[in-house]
Amino acid sequence: MTQYVYRFGGGVSDGKGLSKELLGGKGANLDGMASIGLPVPPGFTISTPMCTRYYEEGEKFPPELNAEVASGIAHIEGVTGKKFGDASDPLLVSVRSGARVSMPGMMDTVLNLGLNDATVVGLATVSGDARFAWDSYRRFVQMYADVVLGLDHGAFEEALEIAKEDKGYYLDTEMESEDWQALVAKYLALVEELWGKPFPQDVHDQLWGAVGAVFGSWQSERAKVYRRINSIPHDWGTAVNVQAMVFGNMGDTSATGVAFTRDPATGERAYYGEYLINAQGEDVVAGIRTPQYLTTAARERAKAKPLSMQESMPVVYAELAKVFDLLEAHYRDMQDIEFTVERGKLWMLQTRSGKRTAKAALKIAVDMAAEGLITKDEAVMRVDPSALDQLLHPTLDPKAKRDVIVKGLPASPGAASGIAVFDSDTAEKRADKGQSVILVRTETSPEDIHGMHAAKGILTARGGMTSHAAVVARGMGRPCVSGAGSLSIDAAAKVARVGSREIREGDMLTLDGSTGEVMAGEVATIQPELSGDFGTLMVWADGSRRMKVRANAETPADAKVARDFGAEGIGLCRTEHMFFDAGRITAVREMILAEDEKGRRVALAKLLPEQRADFVGLFEVMAGLPVTIRLLDPPLHEFMPHAEADFEDVAKATGLTVDMLKRRAAELHEFNPMLGHRGCRLGVTYPEIYEMQARAIFEAACDLAVSPIPEVMVPLVATKRELELMKAVIDRTAEAVFAERGKRIDYLVGTMIELPRAALKAGEIAEVGAFFSFGTNDLTQTTLGVSRDDAARFLGVYVDQGIYERDPFVSLDIDGVGELVQIAADRGRATRPDIKLGICGEHGGDPASIAFCEKVGLDYVSASPYRVPIARLAAAQAALATG
């Protein structure tokens, strides 16, 4: 029979060595901590396969789970010496969700489960603190009503406010035991009114209700959204952890806190964290009270007064510091920890690999390799390539003027400018329209995930450095300023006020997540620094990399950025981008609208020197490296004149009338230009266009002292014959130029593989072409029969429904398009074993697609200049993973 329940704590660790896949992240690590002898409150984990079973059985528990859960409870009872539901000395537990990876979309934890009208009296007696007991009970009813029963929490909060008002209190802490008791009565009545049934008094009913709610939350909307954004499969399921309660709210020798073993913002090797005396865990996370610093150094640096934990609880702090070191050594990574001190005794409640900024990830990986904790290869594997994005983009210019409106905590570094919005739906809507937005909230909750994802930056009025906003923003790589306390936000009225100043929806703001400053307007930025830890890690990565990394670039400026980022050539130079230049577009239009070859040649002669100059500039930057130049590809309609003035310009240049030109333009109209007269079809029908381009390439190469190696690429080839014809034009032109210049240079002629027919007939095509470059943008469009520009309307639903796991234009559809790539690579290599293979689509900068390219054995990937370092790291990881 399958085992579903795994006990931990009190010297037991049933799940020792078992995976996060089975136990969930939280469960596996609770067990891990217990197994190395750390003080973990006893508990048990119901494994993830039970979540799957629960859904298979129509959201019911299989009967055999009863006995297993009973033995789990018996374990906790044995270790604590308390009984679940015992009216004299009750055992209380927390019910916690825990998927394989931490998921903010999941059910919130229920604390103090096991309290009812009878056990609360027992708790009051054994704790000697009736106020604490009744406060615990009201917290439990409120949480249970909210998370498990799904009742409106506003009603409960209102009842609390009224209770305080009646007494003339300002703070929860002023509430006396009788006040809490009276509030509990109100809460129980509220539950009955809103839910239609009395609050469950049977502790087992409470437990099963909570466990069911955890499983139920796996399919909640916000969990689904989170999974979609983070590419987490829907069939993983979550585990449930049931654990004995420990109390950080039993007076001044009790506390609760969260900590990181290293600074998650900078990566600095220093304990880092926050704690609150006399509080329960959720108080820290929710940012209800402003927490105090863990270490004295951090407190002094922040010039804060309230004592650090190091000062106020030196003995427990020393014990905690030892635990930090043990955990780092055990997990060999920076840990994010939750702990509670109950009347002077330390309890560990959670540990996991800590989320960190890209900067911290780099520093921690490089430092840990230097400390000998991990190898260099492991260091390379540790840094998420996509996260480098944060470092490769500009930061605020320190010299730029800053009109600081308010200052909060530097919760997640980086700079962002955008317009203020006050709710997540608006953030998403505006971002979809292409606007940059800053999400401004009093505090964030898991319901804000989509808005945070859509925003360029996040600003909150409440919450510390470990608040929801801060943790999620760091994970997403969004700059965040949290706890800007002097900001008062009226989300309904869409306005925030600080002193006499106002921020309204649509106002431009700039956040500096590294200083906590919030500024009015847009502030100038500067380019990033690419040395230090970044440089070190990239050197290690390059040492493990097999594939080359090139850039997609056509201007010398972009090529320069690409070189600085370590590009080893150009994988795609799109010549048409050069045609849009204001100075040339008229000549281009003249060529397109020409009636015959003669007319086209007149226009092309005007373009030749311009195009040659383009290549000279590009080739100078790329001297000695391969440069792949794609001959003219796009549908001609993209260059067509539209405005009257455009036609007049062309008329002036050609001596034709505007009417004649308009008639010609109408003749050239196409119904589906993407599948029309474009790509090599232009070269086949008007060879003089490719001839001019080839001439510009070879003349430029011959004119330079050190030339790159031109790889002339013919687009949209479907058949061998097309490539044969075009190669003849290119070779003939090359010979002519070499004869004129009295000099030869090396070059290659090859093709893009971007049509399914080309992939299938790659064996034949390789007889002519010396290289293939997979144009996976068009190959995806033509294989899926989906136009990228029109996909937005349905692709979201497709991803939600699991039809495609991710947007196939962002991450290669490995099953379908990938198979064509594999076929083309195999057949091409069978014909021509030394054929050069690369990828130049958008996918060339996507880590998952890069891993696939490694498997196929491509020679290089090509990405946009800013993604070159990402591609270098991803290629290294792919090589290491393939071994």
Active site members: 468, 840
Closest CA to 467 of 410, 407, 395: 410
- Sign of the torsion formed by the C-alpha atoms of 571, 577, 583 and 589: positive
* Contact by Cβ (8 Å): 550, 861: yes
Name the segment binding Mg ion (CB under 5 A); options: 336-344, 394-402, 474-482, 702-710: 336-344
108 lies in the binding site for Mg ion (CB under 5 A):
no
What is the total residue count of the chain?
A: 883
Residue 285 near which of ligand ADP, Mg ion, none (CB within 5-8 Å, type-dependent): ligand ADP
**Dihedral angle of Cα 446, 451, 457, 463, to the nearest 10 degrees:** -30
336 lies in the binding site for ligand ADP (CB under 6 A):
no
Determine which residue in the list 203, 349, 559, 768 makes contact with ligand ADP, applying CB under 6 A: 349
Instruction: Report DSSP state, residue 529.
Output: P
Residue 775 near which of Mg ion, ligand ADP, none (CB within 5-8 Å, type-dependent): Mg ion
Name the closest residue to Mg ion (Cβ).
778
338/854 with CB nearer Mg ion: 338
Max intra-chain CA distance, the chain: 103
Return the half-sphere exposure (C-beta side, CA atoms, 13 A cut-off) of residue 174.
11
98/838 with CB nearer ligand ADP: 98
The contact mask relative to ligand ADP for 12-41 (x = CB under 6 A, - = no) is: -----------------------------x
Closest distance of CB 669 from ligand ADP, Å = 59
245/366 with CB nearer ligand ADP: 245
Ramachandran sector of residue 483 (left: φ over 0; alpha: ψ -120 to 50; beta: rest)? left
Query: What type of residue is 113?
Result: L
25/451 with CB nearer ligand ADP: 25
Buried b / exposed e over 170-203, threshold 16 CB at 10 Å, is eebeebeeebbbbbbebbbebbeeeeeeebbeeb
Return the half-sphere exposure (C-beta side, CA atoms, 13 A cut-off) of residue 713.
30
Closest distance of CB 471 from ligand ADP, Å = 9
142 lies in the binding site for ligand ADP (CB under 6 A):
no
377 lies in the binding site for ligand ADP (CB under 6 A):
no
243 lies in the binding site for ligand ADP (CB under 6 A):
yes
Phi, psi for residue 793 in degrees, rounded to 5: -65, -30
Name the segment binding ligand ADP (CB under 6 A); options: 154-162, 277-285, 322-330, 500-508: 277-285
Return the half-sphere exposure (C-beta side, CA atoms, 13 A cut-off) of residue 393.
16
466 lies in the binding site for ligand ADP (CB under 6 A):
no
282 lies in the binding site for ligand ADP (CB under 6 A):
yes
Site for Mg ion in 765-794 (CB under 5 A): 775, 778
Instruction: Report DSSP state, residue 570.
Output: E
Residue 313's Cα: distance from chain center in Å? 38
Angle ∠(24,26,30) on CA atoms, nearest 5: 120
Distance CA 596, CA 154 (A): 75
Site for ligand ADP in 767-806 (CB under 6 A): none
94/552 with CB nearer ligand ADP: 94
129/778 with CB nearer Mg ion: 778
CA dist 868 to 294, 380, 456, 877, Å? 39, 16, 22, 14
Closest distance of CB 675 from Mg ion, Å = 12
96 lies in the binding site for ligand ADP (CB under 6 A):
yes
43/828 with CB nearer ligand ADP: 43
350 lies in the binding site for ligand ADP (CB under 6 A):
yes
The DSSP element (H or E) to which 520 belongs, if any, is strand 517-520
Residue 737 near which of Mg ion, ligand ADP, none (CB within 5-8 Å, type-dependent): none
Residue 733 near which of Mg ion, ligand ADP, none (CB within 5-8 Å, type-dependent): none
338 lies in the binding site for ligand ADP (CB under 6 A):
yes
3-class DSSP state of 326: helix
Residue 682 near which of ligand ADP, Mg ion, none (CB within 5-8 Å, type-dependent): none
241 lies in the binding site for Mg ion (CB under 5 A):
no
Name the segment binding Mg ion (CB under 5 A); options: 234-242, 348-356, 367-375, 831-839: 348-356
Instruction: Report DSSP state, residue 103.
Output: -
Sheet holding 501-504, edge to edge: 488-490, 495-498, 501-504
Closest CA to 768 of 749, 787, 741, 740: 749
Closest distance of CB 287 from ligand ADP, Å = 12
Instruction: Report DSSP state, residue 148.
Output: I
340 lies in the binding site for ligand ADP (CB under 6 A):
yes
Closest distance of CB 57 from ligand ADP, Å = 25
Distance CA 339, CA 24 (A): 19
127/719 with CB nearer ligand ADP: 127
Name the segment binding ligand ADP (CB under 6 A); options: 207-215, 279-287, 745-753, 853-861: 279-287
863 lies in the binding site for ligand ADP (CB under 6 A):
no
Query: Exposure of 657 by Cβ count < 10 A (0-12 exposed, 13-18 middle, 19+ buried)?
Result: exposed
471/629 with CB nearer ligand ADP: 471
Q: Between helices 20-35 and 48-56, what is the axis angle to 10°? A: 150
Site for ligand ADP in 149-208 (CB under 6 A): none
Determine which residue in the list 22, 65, 130, 246 makes contact with ligand ADP, applying CB under 6 A: 246
109 lies in the binding site for ligand ADP (CB under 6 A):
yes
Closest CA to 679 of 576, 810, 578: 576
Name the segment binding Mg ion (CB under 5 A); options: 63-71, 78-86, 345-353, 463-471: 345-353
Angle ∠(866,867,870) on CA atoms, nearest 5: 130
515/751 with CB nearer Mg ion: 751
350 lies in the binding site for Mg ion (CB under 5 A):
yes
Residue 245 near which of ligand ADP, Mg ion, none (CB within 5-8 Å, type-dependent): ligand ADP
3-class DSSP state of 164: helix
Name the segment binding Mg ion (CB under 5 A); options: 57-65, 71-79, 120-128, 343-351: 343-351
259/629 with CB nearer ligand ADP: 259
Q: How many residues bind ligand ADP (CB under 6 A)?
A: 16
Angle ∠(175,180,185) on CA atoms, nearest 5: 150
Determine which residue in the list 111, 148, 656, 768 makes contact with ligand ADP, applying CB under 6 A: 111
Distance CA 264, CA 465 (A): 10
* Structure-token pair, residue 143: 């949480």
Residue 753 burial (CB count, 10 A): 30
Residue with tokens 């891990």: 32
The DSSP element (H or E) to which 624 belongs, if any, is none
* Structure-token pair, residue 589: 């239009």
Closest distance of CB 672 from Mg ion, Å = 15
Question: Would you tell me which residues interact with ligand ADP (CB under 6 A)?
Answer: 41, 94, 96, 109, 111, 243-246, 281-282, 285, 338, 340, 349-350
Question: Would you tell me which residues interact with Mg ion (CB under 5 A)?
Answer: 338, 350, 754, 775, 778
